[in-house]
Structure 1
């Protein structure tokens, strides 16, 4: 009897991906140790003001993501990605080893800023590398498995880090954290070849820095399918921020249910997100990415509309559904980018997508706080209503039922002079002679999935 791997796990037969995936999983455990250790350290240094310290650190983290991720995409398309990922892990290893010696707030903020910069460099580079080392059949599975692992470790990682802190000390958390980044760096360094985007026969692009940084966003907003996914990520961010910001007050305040119930409810959110990633990875070849993103948007919004007056079991079920919806928006979006962007541009597009998705959260967090303060008894309903209005507006504007008839192909850019062998339309008129030009090329296929 032959052993058959689950469809989601078949991509692990690719040894390069299996090694990179193991490094990512260990990296995610390290992230969990970092943020639990930061919380403990902030409490040791600031006491009751630790919440202010952590909120400032989290805000700083997201702002750096937005600012640096596009640059990360440029570097990922220009440098050896293996060397870039190894370097970010080694730098993070050194930085987290310094946390036990922090004695005031500004030192903590500097370390958080540098760590966030490394994270902003690593994550888009890792995502853009998946299509580079996997086949077209393996890539959606690799993306889904990576996301499922991220969601699962977001639930299990803090519990593991908390157990270490309870048995040993805060310093032990940071030193073990440093070890995880070292192991991840060694795994990536052991990849058999350099991870450099091939540009055989191409001329180095003649672009300024600002133009290089804007290429990823241009692809995202010019392509109808990617634009639709990016707008749905805004809807998911508003709904997700409402859940993260206001659930604790509802559970421990309105329901008087305590911290254990709150932990169970938030774990349900992670379990739902993990389950959706597994389902998508196992059946992505039979499903339309555009249709699944729309379904995800609906499943993200509806639980908020139904959450008013929910008890603990009902809220856990609703948040599990919301977690499913969040994943069904985010993971197919990454698959669409892999399918519709040339390999030598994917670093910049994934970097831009990482930046835009975190910008949505920068906008969504204060909005969730406003809902909680203005509608203390019905904030879930009004946040859900606002998200639903946005969802309907985006559907009307983008008309996703037409997106399945878009031509298959990919966005790419190269020096070009309008020869007959390479003719296409310009978005910007008036360009003559040889120039760098971003455009879409059709390939032999009927439509996008």
Structure 2
């Protein structure tokens, strides 16, 4: 009986795929995510090829430029998504990303990594908030949480498990050749996006024609006000900062630790990241069943705690135990990050969600812009103890957030 219930809970998110429009959007994003995973593994391996000793710094710089593009441009993307045809935003930015990825195999200098990464993620900053804001418009309210859970789970699965698979493929094809796989995935995903009905990509226009349109600055401020005005969303966003501190350590320093600390190869790096991805995806897929209003604060706190504890001892374990710790860290990251998107979808009016998703995207990546340089510094200066210090920082910030925001006094919404 318990097995039957568990199977039903795992299958629950897939109910959202009965909506054919969401299914096409979902599969387009999934294919794109697989390609993105290949991109970041390729960049990690290229960084190691350019300079083994500075690989953590190169990768941290590239990832910081990535999130910097998100911080600067995603709020404007959210505003744009509330005003014009969202399908147009999706396919234009998607094909520009494809063009940048197609050039990545020909990189010959470190500075080219930085330029192309920044350009790639300028377009990504417009694509992702638009994609997220579209979900609430094209799925029924009864399956919205399942759609968000499935989308987030898939993002976790291929955003983290994908690098593991890409690491294995890099052994067969080489670091540069996997960029061609990425470019091909963009073509397939782009064709799916073009099949979406544009009329469903627009914000509902009822009553808007007679209202005076706010300026871009007013829209930006409103997005910030709506995001931080809800205490539970504000707490969830703060926990995402804790998650970023730990997650950056994993993404930046794992490749160096596997290669130089444990003296293993790219395939071993791939399997470690696969363990992280499996943990993240497992928690994300189950989230549709456990993500109720009363469980969200516990999910956020437990997830952040799991992340901090998992990475703290990573410098002192063998390869087998590292696989287990990264699986636990993956579970923690999903539990710490999933509630935010659901809370926005449930608490923000549909006509305002574009700007709020854009603002959330910017702030959540601001946390990573802070976390990546910290990870790069620890990986470069303290390679023997980088995960220990990263874990201590993670747990310290979690304690401060708990003390100042006091989640026990935050009332959860009745619905959910």
Matches within 5 A, 1:192-271: 192-194=197-199, 195-202=201-208, 203-256=210-263, 260-271=267-278
Which residue of 75, 79, 86 maps to 1:74?
Answer: 79
Which of the pair has more CA radius of gyration?
1
1:251-278: per-residue Cα shift (whole Å, max 9, x none)?
A: 5555555555444333211111011001
What TM-score results when the alignment is normalised by the length of structure 2? 0.85
Structure 1 unaligned blocks of 5 or more: 409-446
Does structure 2 retain, via aligned residues, the 8 Å contact 1:71–1:213?
yes
Post-superposition offset of 1:236: 0.8
Q: Which has the higher helix share?
A: 2
For residue 130 of structure 1, what is the aligned residue in structure 2?
135
How much has 1:304 moved relative to structure 2? 3.1
Q: Which structure 2 residues correspond to residues 42-121 of structure 1 after superposition, within 5 A?
A: 51=55, 55-99=60-104, 109-121=114-126
- Checking the alignment, whether the CA contact within 8 Å between 1:39 and 1:50 is kept in structure 2 is no
Alignment map for 1:329-344 (pairs within 5 Å):
329-344=336-351
**Which stretch shifts more, 252-261 or 217-226?**
252-261
The equivalent position to 1:326 in structure 2, one of 329, 333, 352, is: 333
> For 2:154, which of 137, 149, 156 is the aligned residue?
149
1:164–1:172 CA contact under 8 A, matched in 2: no
Greater RCO, 1 or 2 (C-alpha within 8 Å, sep 6+): 2
Q: Tell me, in whole angstroms, the C-alpha distance in 2 between the residues paired with 1:161 and 1:373.
A: 25
Question: Which residue of structure 1 aligns with residue 183 of structure 2?
Answer: 178
For residues 333 and 362 of structure 1, what CA distance do their matches in structure 2 show? 19
Identify the range of structure 1 (79-88 vs 107-116) with the bigger mean alpha-carbon deviation.
107-116
Alpha carbons 1:289, 1:333 under 8 Å: kept: no
Q: Which runs of 5+ in 2 are unaligned?
A: 1-6
Are residues 222 and 164 of structure 1, via their aligned partners in 2, closer, same or farther at CA, if it must alter by over 3 Å?
same
1:365 matched residue in structure 2 = 372
- From the superposition, tell whether residues 209 and 259 of structure 1 become closer, same or farther in structure 2 (CA, over 3 Å): same
Change (3 A) 1:403 1:343: same
Residue 448 to residue 238, structure 1, CA distance change in 2 (3 Å): farther
Contact map agreement 2:163 2:270 (CA 8 A) in 1: no
Distance in 2 separating the partners of 1:42 and 1:278: 33
Q: Cα RMSD over matched residues? A: 3.2
Residue 285 of structure 1 deviates from its aligned partner by: 4.6
CA contact (8 A) 2:60 2:375 kept: no
Instruction: Check whether the contact 1:69–1:120 (CA below 8 A) recurs between aligned residues.
Output: yes
2:171, 2:266 → 1: CA distance?
Answer: 18
The residue correspondences of 1:244-323 to structure 2 (distance < 5 A) are 244-256=251-263, 260-285=267-292, 288-307=295-314, 309-323=316-330
Checking the alignment, whether the CA contact within 8 Å between 1:17 and 1:130 is kept in structure 2 is yes
Shift of 1:223: 1.4
Aligned equivalent of 2:397? 390
Specify whether residues 253 and 78 from structure 1 end up closer, same or farther in structure 2 by C-alpha distance, changes over 3 A only: same
Q: What CA distance in whole angstroms lies between the structure 2 residues aligned with 1:218 and 1:71?
A: 15
For 1:246 and 1:219, the matched residues in 2 are separated by: 35
Corresponding pairs, count = 406
Query: Structure 2: how far apart are the matches of 1:328 and 1:70?
Result: 25
Q: In structure 1, what is the equivalent of residue 23 of structure 2?
A: 18
